[in-house]
Each structure stands twice: as C-alpha cells, then as structure tokens.
Amino acid sequence: MDRILVRPNGPLTGEVTISGAKNSALLLMAATLLAPGEHVLTNVPRITDVATMTELLGAIGVESERDATTVVLRSPASLLPEAPYELVARMRASIGVLGPLLARCGEARVAVPGGDDFGSRPIDMHLSGLEALGAKFELEHGYVRGWADGLRGAPVTLEFPSVGATENILMAAVLAKGSTVIENAAREPEISDLADLLNAMGAHIEGAGTSTIEVEGVETLHATKHETIPDRVEAATFLAAVAVTGGDVLLRNARADDMEMYLRKLADMGMTVTPTLEGVWSRGPERLRSVDVSTLPYPGVATDYKPLFTVMLAVADGVGIVTENLFAGRFRYVDELIRMGADVRTDAHHAVVRGRTRLSGAPVRAPDIRAGAALVVAGLVAEGETEVSGVEHIDRGYEDFVGKLAALGAHIERIST
Ligand code: EPZ
C-alpha cells in the first residue's frame, strides 16, 4: 500500500496546471451511452475513478481508448444494460448510467451504489424523478432493476437540489417524448458542462446552471467531441495549500467563476486571489484569519471544500465554526487532524476549530478523497514528518497530486510499501 510522506518546506511557489473535473468527466462518459458512435472527450483527468468508469462502460459494451487527456469512447448499436456490483461499489457516480440506459435501452439493472462513506446516501430522488418520466423500478439482490416502455417528458420537482439526481433525470429526459421541466435542479458547473455536451449531441436543453431546467425530448442523438471543464475542487485544494504555506502560485486553467464563494471566503481569511487570463493567481497571508463556514448546494460553499477549510482553520488566527448541511457523516477525518495536534470539536454537523500556531506531523489515514488531500495539505505545515496512508482514495480524484505539489516546492514523496 502506497503512502505519502510530507514535511514542511516553506511557501509554495510557481505554477500548477489544473486538470479536467472528475465530477464532470464521469458523467460526460456516462452520457456517451445515449448515442451510438465515436465520442471524443478531451481534458479528461488521469485518475482511478475515470478508469473505473471506463471499465463500467466496457462491461456495458462501450470500447474506449485513451491518449494523454483524451478519451475516445465507441458506443455500439446495442448495449448490455447492466452495471455490475463490483464496479458500482467502487464508485457512487456509477449510478449515472441508470438514466442513459433507461432512455437508450428501455431497461437497466444497476447495483445500489457505494463510494465514499459519508453516512446514508439514498438514491430515492433519482428513482422518483425517473418514475415521473414513466420508468418503473424494483430492488432485488442489491440491484435496482428499471424498465420503461418509452420515457415521456414530465414536470419533476426535486426535494433537494441533488447533483446526481439532476444528472440522471436530465440524461433520461433528452430522449423522452415531449418536454420535461426539472424544478429545484442542482446548479453545479458540472451540470452545465453535461448539458453543453448533450446539446452538442443534438439535445434541446435550456436553463442548465439555474434551478429550472427545460428539456424538449428528441428522437435520437449523435456522437460528438467535447472538452471537460477544469476541476474546481482540485483548484480549491491547491489554493488551500497556498493559503497555509503563505505561498505565491498561479493555478493555470482554474476558473474563478466556478468557485466564487470559496474565493470570497479565502479573501475573508486574508488571502489574495486574482483571476487572470491563464487562470487564477494566489498569494497566502503571513497567517490566515478564522471565519465561519457552512456547506450548501452550489453556488454555496461546496461540501467537498469542507475538509480543506477545517485544515486552514486549524492553523488560522481565531476560532471558526464549520457547519455541514449535506452529508451528516462527513467529519471522519477530524480524529486524524486531532492526531496532528489540531484543536477541533465536533457536535452533530458542526465543528468548532480553534486555530493553533503549529501542528505536528503524525501517521494519519485518508478516509475519503477530499479528506485525504486535506491531510496532505495539513502535512505541509506540520512540524516533522506526516505519513498519509489510504492513498488509493486520493488517487480516485487527484491526478499526480504528489508530483504537482513537489513541482511547487513541497517536500513530499510517495513511497510504496
Ligand atoms: C456529488 O455527489 C459529487 N459527486 C460529490 O463529490 C459532492 O460531494 C456532492 O455532489 C455534493 O456536491 C459527483 O459528482 C460524482 P447529491 P452526489 O446527490 O451526486 C441527498 C467528491 O469527493 N440525496 O447532490 O452523490 C444526499 O444524501 C464527491 O468528488 C438524497 O437524499 O450528491 C446528500 O445529503 C464526494 N436522495 C444530498 O442529497 C437522493 O436520491 C446531496 O447529494 C440523492 C441525494
């Protein structure tokens, strides 16, 4: 099992190129199920979740080829509408094949998803939204079996702006007869990117990125070429690394517009962040100031940024309260941070973080993708050596994380044991 060893090495400097967005690329790949032909996706990150999605699409019948950051997916005339447990259990985003398979094949059998352990993560809104379009479901032996005798457009109002449910309903609605209106839809940039791909495939979607999405179903779609948007969560991770080390770094390709609330919070903490033609330039302060943070659906502060805030607040001047409003169980990394000397108290979905002037390096375990990356960031300012295990989580969402940090001057290496 690999481990990452980190030691403090002063301010990070230079530039880092932000890769394509994991949470977009995975759904763009699933969307290729909607039309036979050769689809070309560019700026696709080299991460294990993309490899898992490639394997899943392969099991369904889609051949693929990869060259650097370009993935070519050949979707055949007929598909095997089944997503096996061992693949779905590895990655929750696999549920994103449900809508496209129902729309394209009229049936689907998909294992109930696993993925990061943030407490209960039901798919009821996916199912009720697809049922509104005429699908029927039954749960058997850990699988959701769905069928539809031709999907029909309908109004769908989501109880909560779920990213995954919005994506599944959108991908089903584009081939449904008639029009669909999704109310209280998720507004994340990844939703807009998916809608851009679908429209380039011949779909009729309006309002993506707002809470009301309108879709006029079409008979067929065609293959196309599409560039994945940059990864705002990866960018947020590098900004946190710059923030805690007092660095000076250009994030090439980062899009300030996609993380406005995050940048506003960083500015409140004393950081300088400026959008540029190449991306986003950033400089960390002598010492961060504490702020309070609440996670919310986009355009609020994303829950994926929360472990990063907890680490920044752990070395900031003052006390900050972090409130998690999406995933009740998303504080599992706090005990690891406390092992590094952080002063964090959790109570239900709040954490009170009292900033300290120093953390100390320790062996810690990454419980999930974002918390893993945040523990590495903490290691950049913790005295002595921090040894991060559970690296396979980080690999799921970050391309060459260690290499990119080392190029910015971090004292970091990956060891295989
Ligand atoms: C997406 O997950 C992201 N994953 C997550 O990023 C991200 O944390 C999350 O959105 C929130 O921004 C991908 O895009 C692949 P949701 P998703 O459906 O779609 C509840 C990362 O590290 N809910 O918006 O699973 C749910 O339990 C990952 O990159 C239902 O109750 O999130 C949660 O409380 C981690 N029923 C809330 O809604 C449903 O049917 C938001 O979940 C669906 C969701």
381 touches 8 (CB < 8 A): yes
How far, in Å, from the CA of 301 to the mean position of ligand 1? 14
- Beta strands 411-416 and 13-17 are unpaired
Task: Specify the residue with its C-alpha closest to ligand 1, atom 44.
Answer: 162
How far, in Å, from the CA of 312 to the mean position of ligand 1? 24
How far, in Å, from the CA of 48 to the mean position of ligand 1? 19
Distances from the Cα of 91 to the Cα of 27, 113, 247, 368, 405, angstroms = 12, 7, 34, 12, 26
Residue of 19, 23, 97, 169 with the most ligand 1 atoms within 8 Å of its CB, for mutation: 23
Query: What predicted TM-score, i.e. pTM, was given to this entire model?
Result: 0.98
Terminal CA-CA length for the chain: 6
Task: Specify the residue with its C-alpha closest to ligand 1, atom 9.
Answer: 163
Task: Specify the residue with its C-alpha closest to ligand 1, atom 13.
Answer: 23
**CB within 6 Å of ligand 1 — which residues?**
22-23, 26, 92-93, 116, 121-126, 160, 162-165, 186, 302-304, 326-327, 369-370, 397
30 touches 171 (CB < 8 A): yes
Q: Extract the tokens encoding 255.
A: 């899009």
- Beta strands 136-140 and 143-147 are antiparallel
How far, in Å, from the CA of 326 to the mean position of ligand 1? 8
How far, in Å, from the CA of 340 to the mean position of ligand 1? 29
Residue of 53, 98, 121 with the most ligand 1 atoms within 8 Å of its CB, for mutation: 121
Reduced to 3 states, what is the DSSP secondary structure of residue 224?
Answer: coil
Task: State the helix-helix crossing angle for 124-132 and 163-173, rounded to 10 degrees.
Answer: 20
Give which of 207, 234, 162, 194 is closest to 26, Cα–Cα: 194
Q: Which atom of ligand 1 lies closest to the CA of 121?
A: 27
Residue of 48, 52, 160 with the most ligand 1 atoms within 8 Å of its CB, for mutation: 160
pLDDT tens-place string over residues 324-346: 999 987 898 999 999 999 999 99
Task: Specify the residue with its C-alpha closest to ligand 1, atom 28.
Answer: 304
Distances from the Cα of 357 to the Cα of 98, 316, 344, 383, angstroms = 49, 7, 14, 11
Residue 120: the pLDDT is 77
Q: Extract the tokens encoding 58.
A: 């392969």
High-pLDDT (> 90) share of the chain, %: 95
How far, in Å, from the CA of 276 to the mean position of ligand 1? 31
How far, in Å, from the CA of 164 to the mean position of ligand 1? 6
For residue 49, the Cα-to-chain-centroid distance in whole angstroms is: 10
Q: Which atom of ligand 1 lies closest to the CA of 116?
A: 35
Q: Which atom of ligand 1 lies closest to the CA of 326?
A: 34
Residues in the chain predicted with pLDDT less than 70, given as ranges, are 114-117
Q: Which atom of ligand 1 lies closest to the CA of 24?
A: 14
Q: What share of the chain is helix, strand, coil (3-state, %, to 5)?
A: 35, 30, 35
* 336 vs 334: CA distance, rounded Å: 5
How long is the chain? 417
Give which of 217, 216, 294, 223 is closest to 28, Cα–Cα: 223
Task: Specify the residue with its C-alpha closest to ligand 1, atom 17.
Answer: 164
Residue of 163, 170, 323, 333 with the most ligand 1 atoms within 8 Å of its CB, for mutation: 163
Task: Specify the residue with its C-alpha closest to ligand 1, atom 8.
Answer: 304
Give which of 76, 11, 5, 6 is closest to 245, Cα–Cα: 11
Q: Extract the tokens encoding 369.
A: 């993708």
How far, in Å, from the CA of 152 to the mean position of ligand 1? 26
- Beta strands 386-389 and 2-7 are antiparallel
One DSSP character per residue, 44-72 reads ----HHHHHHHHHHHHHT-EEEEETTEEE
Task: Specify the residue with its C-alpha closest to ligand 1, atom 19.
Answer: 164
Residue 251 CB burial class (10 angstroms; 0-12, 13-18, ≥19): buried
| Residues annotated catalytic, as ranges | 116
Count of Cβ atoms closer than 10 Å to residue 361 Cβ: 21
Please name every residue paired with 279 in a beta bridge, in sequence order, or none if there are none: 252
